[in-house]
Each structure stands twice: as C-alpha cells, then as structure tokens.
Amino acid sequence: MRSPAAAGEPRALEAFPRRAGVLFAEDVSLAQIAEAVGTPCFVYSAGALVAAYDALDAAFRGVPHTLCYALKANMNLAVVRTLVARGAGADVTSGGELFRALRAGAPAGRIVYSGVGKTDDEIDRALDAGIKLFNVESRSELRRIDLRARQSGVRAPIAFRVNPDVDPKTHPYVSTGLRTSKFGIPISEAMDAYAEAKALDGVRIVGVDCHIGSQLTRLEPFADALSRVRSLIFELRAAGHAIEIVDVGGGLGVRYSEERPPDAGEYAAVVCKALRDLGCEIVLEPGRWLTANAGVLLTRVLLEKTNDDKRFVVVDGAMNDLIRPALYQAFQTIEPVGPPRGPTRPVDVVGPVCESGDFLAKDRPFPPVERGDLLAVRGAGAYGFAMSSNYNARPRAAEVLVRADRFAVVRERESLEDLVRGETIPREITG
Ligand SMILES: *Cc1c(COP(=O)(O)O)cnc(C)c1O
C-alpha cells in the first residue's frame, strides 16, 4: 500500500473530499462503499489516521515522548493497527481493551492502563503482558495491584492519576478532573499516596498521570493542570521518589463545526513549557484527536415525513449506532453524499429507534432528499461505533477502512443470529 507520509511527500490529505459533486473517502466513492457493504456503515480513512498521528508525533519531536492511543475512542483492530504500525502505543481502560491492543500488535512495553475499577483478573492479565504503566486511581487499587504483583513475583510500574481540580470547560459528562469526579486521587493527597506506594514491594513508582476531560477546546485547563502536576513532581522528587514519566492524558478537542481547538503545535508548546526541563518521558493518551475526523457514518434515507410544520428525515442509522448527539447534545455535520437536490430547509435527521432522543441532527438546514439518498455524518471516527449498542435489537453497523483507492470491510455487519448469540431458552424455567 502507498503511504504519502512514508514516502515523505507532505501532501495535505483531505480524508473525505467531494469530487464531481460526490463525496469520497480518499479515492473511493462513498456511494460505491454503500453499494458494496450496505448501510449504516462507518468508513475510516487510514491516510487521515496516519496524518493525525504524524502531526502530533512531530509536534513533540523535541522531547522524549510516547503516543499511547486511547482505544476507547475507536477500538477496531484495523484502526488500532494502522496507528500501531506508525509507532503508537495504547492507552487501555479495561481487560477487553488490553486484549484488543495486544491483538492489534501494540507492544506491551508501550501500553498504559487507566481506569477506576480494575478487577483482579484484569490486573493479572496486564501484569502477565508486562505493560509499561498502571495508572492507579485510588489507594485501595494500589494495594490490590501490589498484592497481585507480589503473588506473581513481579513489580508493577505505577503512576498515580492525580486529580488537579481544574474545570476543563467541556461537557459535564466528559469532565474528569474536578475535585468531585470519580477519577484519580485528589492532588492534595498525592504525597501520602506515593509514600504508601514506596513502602510496597509489588509496585515500582515511575511517574505521575493526569487526564482532565475530553473535547477540550482551550489550552488554559491543560496549562493549569500541568502547572499543578509540575509542582507535585518537584515535591515528589524532594521526597526521594523517582519520577521518570509524566502521562498527560488525552482530551485535546477536535473541530466538529465552529469550534476552534488548538492545533497540535499549540498544544505541544503548552505541554513542553510545563514539563520539558524536568527530563521526563512524556506519555500522551490521545483518542478523539487521532480518530474523530478520520471517520464518517454512512446512512441511507428511508423516508421523509412532516408532523405539523416540522420536517423529519428518517434514516437507517440511529442513536444505537451514534449516540453522541443524543448523549451530549453533540453537533456533527451531516451532508448528502450526492450533489444537493435544492435549497436547504430546517429538518430533524432521526433514526428508527423508539426514543424521542433518537436524533442525529435537530433543526438543521438541509437540502431536499429522496428515499435511498445517502448521507454522511462527519466526525464519526471517535466515540461512534465504540459506543454503539444493540438497542431495539438493531445489528451493529459494518466498519470499513480506506487507503487511497482501496477499501476493506474491517468489521462485518452483525447478523440477526449475532443478536441472539449466547442466549438460551431454558424450558424448565420459561415453561
Ligand atoms: C477517554 C480517555 C482518554 C482519551 O480521551 P480523548 O478525549 O479521546 O483524547 C485518555 N485517557 C483516559 C484516561 C481516558 O479516560
């Protein structure tokens, strides 16, 4: 496969260009993909994944760093593999994500494990694999990891996830760094927690971790959090702790519509200003930033209807496929795959799920559509398929990966049989 970045050609990649009125994924027509694979279906651009990875990597070129892709944004094996092939490690939040990261070929030595509720089984698997770092989110978890590691005769490399109590100014459901959040330990209690860890034989202190939220579109919360982390590192070192790694988490926002998030260079400047002179390795956990705009959700118009004066476009994709609009009132651009059929009028684009919250767009100016028209929902590469479900007994969508003029189905559409897999009817109980 050709890779423009690998060939050293700095070609600006437009992942989803419009050519002769028709929307493409790289060099493949989205209409052709829909024809071959059906709808709803997620389409990802490998070129866009690589371009995003390379841009962030380049922005941190001056400092030792590891980009640990946060699998929870998009855990498809081929997507993870595309980033791993470029050098990415992985940030995982469950045993399942650890399994996926390893299956996709991520080296254990580049995997970090975050999350407030790690089970013994998950801890054991991560110890077995020999991961780079456990981000410990409480002192009870510290004791659990210490115990399991001693039972396996190993030392677990750890950082505490500290909660710097800054407001990331994002949606409350994706704010994680406030004092009242369930994540991490309060930064004020960090010294005691590190002192406790130092006395344990099953763990080895290697760093500090912090992740304050997702879809951050301003730099100040990052700067505030990191300046607190910086002070903590001085205190920890003064107390004799070896801090070699600072994990700055993920959270860098992307552009869904009118947002003006900082670019990779501006973000890197803030991180490096706070941390560069400390001589630490910087670990980053970007999720959304690498994948969101590398994906679209392709969906087909089923019908149009009008209730009173309100116009609805009913499509075959729904909240079970893409929950962000319903869950976070998130705005994602939707456009027809073909040329617009006329001037726009406000519509709600809705799915067939039996919930009034099942919408992809509300009061959105949209051109006229006909049954069978294809629509593309942009920004669907992160927290799209990953958050999808079988609600309303809807089989989950197919996933497709494109590179230049080739495409492959990287996850088959679920079948009706898939929907009932693992279920039984025990006659002696059901009657
Ligand atoms: C969700 C999450 C990330 C990724 O966040 P993005 O906003 O997608 O970059 C990184 N680290 C942790 C601990 C997370 O929970």
Residue-wise pLDDT for 236-270, tens only, equals 999 999 999 999 999 999 999 999 999 999 999 99
91 occurs within a structural domain: yes
Residue-wise pLDDT for 308-352, tens only, equals 889 999 999 999 999 999 999 999 999 999 999 999 999 999 999
Mean pLDDT value across residues 210-215:
94
Closest-CA residue, ligand 1 atom 13, reads: 114
Is residue 8 over pLDDT 80?
no
Question: Dihedral of CA 86/70/317/259: which sign?
Answer: negative
99 occurs within a structural domain: yes
Q: Contact at 8 Å (CB) between 368 and 342?
A: yes
- Number of domains observed in the structure of the chain: 2
Tell me which of 244, 272, 290 is where a domain ends: 290
Q: Contact at 8 Å (CB) between 253 and 212?
A: no
This prediction's pTM: 0.95
Residue 250 per-residue DSSP state: -
Contacts of 61 (CB under 8 A, 6+ apart): none
Tell me which of 257, 290, 323 is where a domain ends: 290
How close is the Cα of 289 to the center of ligand 1, in Å? 10
Is residue 12 over pLDDT 80?
no
Q: Contact at 8 Å (CB) between 251 and 214?
A: yes
Q: Contact at 8 Å (CB) between 85 and 66?
A: no
409 and 306 assigned to the same domain: yes
Question: Ligand 1: which residues within 6 Å by Cβ?
Answer: 70, 72-73, 91, 93, 114, 211, 214, 249-251, 285-289
Q: Contact at 8 Å (CB) between 317 and 376?
A: no
Q: Which of 131, 39, 63, 150 is nearest to 91 (CA)?
A: 131
CATH number at residue 124: 3.20.20.10
Is residue 17 over pLDDT 80?
yes
Is residue 29 over pLDDT 80?
yes
| Bridge partner list, 303 | 314
- Between CA 25 and CA 37 the distance in angstroms is 14
Is residue 169 over pLDDT 90?
no
Q: What is the Cα 31 distance to its own chain's centre?
A: 27
Residue found by looking up tokens 């684009």 in the block? 349
284 and 306 assigned to the same domain: no
Q: Which of 94, 214, 255 to mutate to test the pocket of ligand 1 (most atoms within 8 A of CB)?
A: 214
The catalytically annotated residue of 68, 210, 280, 354 is 354
How close is the Cα of 250 to the center of ligand 1, in Å? 5
135 occurs within a structural domain: yes
261 and 316 assigned to the same domain: no
* Nearest atom within ligand 1 for CA of residue 292: 8
Closest-CA residue, ligand 1 atom 3, reads: 250
In this predicted structure, what is the pLDDT of residue 3? 42
Q: Report DSSP letters for 33-70, one per residue.
A: HHHHH-SSEEEEEHHHHHHHHHHHHHHTTTS-EEEEEE
220 and 307 assigned to the same domain: no
Residue found by looking up tokens 């030595």 in the block? 109
More confident residue, 168 or 165: 165
Q: Contact at 8 Å (CB) between 209 and 161?
A: yes
13 occurs within a structural domain: no
Q: Strands, DSSP E only, in 218-257?
A: 245-247
176: alpha, beta or left, given left = phi > 0 and alpha = psi -120 to 50? alpha
51 and 194 assigned to the same domain: yes
* Nearest atom within ligand 1 for CA of residue 161: 13
- Between CA 362 and CA 395 the distance in angstroms is 25
Phi, then psi, of 184 in degrees rounded to 5: 65, -170
In this predicted structure, what is the pLDDT of residue 10? 42
Is residue 300 over pLDDT 70?
yes
* Nearest atom within ligand 1 for CA of residue 288: 8
> Domain range holding 100?
46-290
Tell me which of 290, 322, 357 is where a domain ends: 290
Average pLDDT over the chain, rounded to whole?
95
Would you state the structure tokens that stand for residue 134, as one six-digit string? 């456990």
- Between CA 249 and CA 48 the distance in angstroms is 22
In this predicted structure, what is the pLDDT of residue 6? 42
Q: Which of 341, 250, 345 is nearest to 290 (CA)?
A: 250
How close is the Cα of 421 to the center of ligand 1, in Å? 31
- Between CA 89 and CA 101 the distance in angstroms is 8
In this predicted structure, what is the pLDDT of residue 5? 42
342 and 258 assigned to the same domain: no
Would you state the structure tokens that stand for residue 398, as one six-digit string? 């197919």
Contacts of 341 (CB under 8 A, 6+ apart): 367, 368, 369, 370, 373
10 occurs within a structural domain: no
Identify the three-state secondary structure at position 338.
coil
Q: Contact at 8 Å (CB) between 46 and 5?
A: no
Q: Which of 74, 93, 248, 255 to mutate to test the pocket of ligand 1 (most atoms within 8 A of CB)?
A: 93
Q: Which amino acid appears at position 324 of this protein? A: R
Contacts of 358 (CB under 8 A, 6+ apart): 318, 319, 326, 350, 351, 352
Mean pLDDT value across residues 136-141:
97
Instruction: Tell me: cis bond preceding 40? Omega within 30 of 0 counts.
Output: yes
Residue-wise pLDDT for 67-117, tens only, equals 999 999 999 999 999 999 999 999 999 999 999 999 999 999 999 999 999
214 and 334 assigned to the same domain: no
Q: Contact at 8 Å (CB) between 253 and 170?
A: yes
Confidence class for position 38, pLDDT limits 50, 70, 90: very high
425 occurs within a structural domain: no
194 and 88 assigned to the same domain: yes
How close is the Cα of 198 to the center of ligand 1, in Å? 27
41 and 66 assigned to the same domain: no
Q: Which amino acid appears at position 218 of this protein? A: R
How close is the Cα of 287 to the center of ligand 1, in Å? 6
50 and 29 assigned to the same domain: no
- Edge-first strand order for the sheet with 22-25 is 18-19, 22-25, 28-29
249 and 323 assigned to the same domain: no
**Is 354 tagged catalytic?**
yes
Q: Contact at 8 Å (CB) between 205 and 184?
A: no
- Taking the CA of residue 327 as centre, how many other CA atoms within 13 Å lie in the half-sphere pointing to its CB? 14
215 occurs within a structural domain: yes
230 and 298 assigned to the same domain: no
Q: Contact at 8 Å (CB) between 401 and 79?
A: yes
What's the N-to-C CA distance of the chain in angstroms? 57
Mean pLDDT value across residues 130-146:
98
